[in-house]
């Protein structure tokens, strides 16, 4: 019996290896791509991390980028929808910041073409961080004694505190937030013991039922595209009154809210599946609480397939193998304002 079990395991691994080759499974690169006008440097990353964690970039002094994109966890906030200043909530779930450098566009509706563009938005969004303008942000940062030196270290001795430099620093930091070397990565690099038997079976099922048609590439977010050229899919593709009544997916018009083009109704950026086991709840509105339910919903609404419990369990096991080790995040001391504070919005 033991020999038979071993033989079956070997066959499963061989089958998955064949699937892997035909599907062109790829490991996550060990370094994120970066634009020519914003090369990643240690000083820039240091400044970007401080800005990312500083709640003084918000009108109330209570909300930082990290509030919704917690780098000490899964890179988001595990809430159905993000909460900003004064407890205001938006209409969408915060996407993870981990591996966001591998997205060709940012936000669920793809309205930002780069991490730099993305970093501009939340600071002045009245629901998120609530500052009236970036001029107000810059004025505040200039009153914090240590910030001018941090900007000079990052951008040169003649550098000033500016909106562009601030978002470049934040984006540079975010490009260090990647998680290669997951069990999946080790497996496709040749370590055939990195996945257990169920994960191998799940990998095969993931391909066979069609999940990989959208969630392909190293980040499982679609084809590798030039920055700014997003990969979008309609969601839901197939109508289902039961799931729509339960989860209200169609209440959000998706990319249409940006372009006002009829063909963009209910179109969304295909999100990464990296670390997806850590980022519940799921979908653009955070309506689905568990990963197994998310797999079931996706199969029905995107592929018009009813998966068995075994198929769902196997795919979930595989998705768990996409969680990679997180680079250590040491919390910096934020620059102080000795003897004074700001007039925050109440």
Please tell me which residue in 128, 174, 227, 293 is annotated as part of the active site: 128
Calpha distance 12→65 (Å, rounded): 44
Calpha distance 59→121 (Å, rounded): 14
Calpha distance 208→23 (Å, rounded): 10
Contacts of 71 (CB under 8 A, 6+ apart): 52, 97, 98, 177, 329
Cα dihedral value 62, 66, 69, 73, nearest 10: -120
β-partners of residue 269 are: 232
88 φ/ψ angles, rounded to the nearest 5 degrees: -65, 145
Cα dihedral value 241, 292, 186, 105, nearest 10: 40
Residues in the chain: 346
Contacts of 150 (CB under 8 A, 6+ apart): 43, 46, 47, 50, 335
Distance of CA 326 to the CA centre of its chain: 14
Do 266 and 254 form a contact (C-beta atoms < 8 A)?
yes
Per the annotation, the verdict on 128 as an active-site residue is: yes
- Reported as type and span, the H/E element at residue 9 is helix 2-23
Do 161 and 148 form a contact (C-beta atoms < 8 A)?
yes
Do 108 and 254 form a contact (C-beta atoms < 8 A)?
yes
Q: Give the catalytic positions in this structure.
A: 128
């Amino acid at each position: 019996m033991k020999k038979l079990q071993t033989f079956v395991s070997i066959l499963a691994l061989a089958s998955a290896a064949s699937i892997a080759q035909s599907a062109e499974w790829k490991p996550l690169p060990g370094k994120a791509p970066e634009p020519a006008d914003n090369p990643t440097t240690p000083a820039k990353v240091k400044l970007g991390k401080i800005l990312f964690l500083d709640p003084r970039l918000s009108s109330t002094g209570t909300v930082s980028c990290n509030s919704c994109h917690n780098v000490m966890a899964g890179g988001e906030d595990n809430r159905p929808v993000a909460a900003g200043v004064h407890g205001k909530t938006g209409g969408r779930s915060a996407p993870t910041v981990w591996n966001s450098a591998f997205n060709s566009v940012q936000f669920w509706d793809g309205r930002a073409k780069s991490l730099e563009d993305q970093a501009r938005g939340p600071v002045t969004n009245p629901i998120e961080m609530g500052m009236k303008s970036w001029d107000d942000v810059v004025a505040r940062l200039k009153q914090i004694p240590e910030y001018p030196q941090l900007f000079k270290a990052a951008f040169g001795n003649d550098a000033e505190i500016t909106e562009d430099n601030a978002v470049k620093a934040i984006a540079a930091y975010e490009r260090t937030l990647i998680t290669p070397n997951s069990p999946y990565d080790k497996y496709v690099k040749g370590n055939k013991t990195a996945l257990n038997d169920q994960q191998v079976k799940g990998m095969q099922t993931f391909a066979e039922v069609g999940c990989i048609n959208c969630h392909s590439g190293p980040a499982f977010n679609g084809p590798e595209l030039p920055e700014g050229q997003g990969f979008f899919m309609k969601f839901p593709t197939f109508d289902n009154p039961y799931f729509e009544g339960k989860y209200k997916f169609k209440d959000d018009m998706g990319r249409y809210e940006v372009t006002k083009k009829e063909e963009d109704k209910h179109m969304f950026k295909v999100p990464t599946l990296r670390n997806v086991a850590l980022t519940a709840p799921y979908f653009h509105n955070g309506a689905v609480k568990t990963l197994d339910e998310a797999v079931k919903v996706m199969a029905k609404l995107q592929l018009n397939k009813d998966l068995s419990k075994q198929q769902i369990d196997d795919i979930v096991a595989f998705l768990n193998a996409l969680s990679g080790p997180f680079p250590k995040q040491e919390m910096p001391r934020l620059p102080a304002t000795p003897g004074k504070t700001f007039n925050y919005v109440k």
